[in-house]
Chains A and B, each alone.
Chain A
Amino acid sequence: MIQERYKPTFLRKLYPNTKLWMSLGITFAILFFKNVWLSLAIMIASLIMIAYEKYILEFKVVMVSILIMAIMMFSINGTLNPVIDYSKDPVFILPLLNWKFYKEGLEYALTYFSRIAPLMASLFLLFRTMNMTDLGIGMYEGGVPYNVSFMFISTFQIIPVLGKDMNQIMDAQRARGLDTEGNLLKRFKAFLPVMVPVVANSIMRVRNQAVALETKGFNSTAKKTVYRDLPRTKADHFLKWLSILIAVSSVIYKIVITYVLK
């Protein structure tokens, strides 16, 4: 999932919290500067970095959902929303279907699309270059309570375990005659016979896990030692403060144009 460790590139070598700060900075910048050109720039920059980091294949899935979103946003909003006055001239008319696209709708769609698409691309990039366990450690070192960091990390460890269980259980039920390939009704009926054992098994393990955690000192108040060494470089400091600067200035900008420059 998001946990591979390939050769270290610049983005991957960054301390995980730095990337959180960068996410914050980018999000604030996109939301408050509200500039289509800025969004476009971020989008292009992200795409370049994604290609450089060789994540194009994984990004394809996200790219497809961005495209579908674009098509639906522009077509539905463009033709139907929030048009109040149908007497205005449409911007263009789609030839065969005679759909009328209006300026208002298209602008509306553009506002939202130029917010979401660059966010999706840039945050995809930042999070894919993070190892989730490292992020959990970064959280703990950054002051997040141990319990929370632990829960964060263990989520990513449990998900594949349940996935494996699911495969075993589905096979076991199929071996007892459960039909997983028939018509829709049959497939619906197959959901519970697979879901119930997966959940029941995982919950049965909970009691033992609780005892195991207790015996390993989970609730002790001593400070936990972190085993992995995550280096912090000058680049991390620079990027962190740059992001904070961008975030703060975007908020100030927004306040200024909303209230001061009426």
Chain B
Amino acid sequence: MGMRTIDSSKGKMRTTYMAILIPLGIAINFVGGQIASRLALPLFLDSIGTAIVAAIMGPFVGAVSGVGFNIISSIIGGNILSSLFGICNIATAFIVGFMTRAGKFKTVVHAIIATVAVALANALLGAPIAVVVYGGIQGGGVDLLVAGMLSLGRDILSAAFLARVPINLVDKGIAVFAAWLILMRLPDSLKNLAGGKKKIEEEQEEESN
């Protein structure tokens, strides 16, 4: 196919692809949230774009997209400090990106592992950020769980963490799972625009056959 010459794993073409996919990842995060609210679902589902871009273009590009999303949504939402949660999105991007590179984002089992890993990472990172920025209480549903934990005698940091584990399992977890499902449904030609070692090896194999 003529497209063979436009190899996104190399040099300038990769920059162009990045310039398109990073904003797209951010937009997909937004759209996920919009669909969720149109369907009146009690979740955010706003990490799907990060996961998809990380799977297609690699962990670092995914991370940039994720942080970009947090910055922009904090601008729109009015609270600039919430962009610090971009650190959580970086974790999501890294986990999904590296798993994909290692070829381990293909089966249901992989998807489940990724889901749990992302959920734990988000809870682990999100808790201290919430404590440092907000003092632990954000003004959202998660705070009720935090209150519950506090009344059981825990300190604010561990309360924040424990409260976030189930919530992230559902929200971020479903997002990662959804990203995996979406990637499964894409035609093969689009699944990996990133290059990275594996793809170049595959292409060399193809050419020598």
Contacts and interface: CB of A to CB of B under 8 A. Distances in A.
A187 B15 contact: no
A19 B16 CA distance: 30
A159 B73 CA distance: 12
A101 to B, nearest CB: 14
A206 B181 contact: no
The A contact surface, by secondary structure, is helix
B135 interface: yes
Interface residues of A, number: 67
Contacts of B146: 76
A211 B77 CA distance: 34
Nearest to A84: B155
Given A116-B81, A199-B28, A170 B38 contact: yes
Interface stretch (A66-74, A232-240, A251-259): A66-74
A214 B16 contact: yes
B34 A72 contact: no
Interface in B25-84: 26-28, 30-32, 34-36, 38-41, 45, 48, 52, 56, 68, 72, 75-81
Interface stretch (A6-14, A33-41, A120-128, A222-230): A120-128
B76 A2 contact: yes
Given A80-B151, A200-B182, A209-B20, A73 B77 contact: no
B135 A155 contact: no
B81 A166 contact: no
B124 to A, nearest CB: 20
Nearest to B146: A76
Contacts of B166: none
A168 interface: no
B155 A166 contact: no
Interface stretch (A89-97, A105-113, A241-249): A105-113
Nearest to B143: A72
- Residue from the set B6, B8, B18, B134 with the largest chain A CB neighbour count within 10 Å: B134
B144 to A, nearest CB: 8
A91 to B, nearest CB: 18
Contact of A158 (B17, B24, B32): B24
B135 A112 contact: yes
Contacts of B19: 147, 150-151, 154, 213, 218
Q: Which 8 A-B pairs have the closest CB atoms?
A: A69-B139, A112-B135, A155-B23, A80-B150, A124-B78, A62-B78, A158-B27, A219-B12
8 contacts: A81-B150, A81-B156, A147-B18, A150-B19, A163-B30, A191-B36, A196-B181, A202-B28
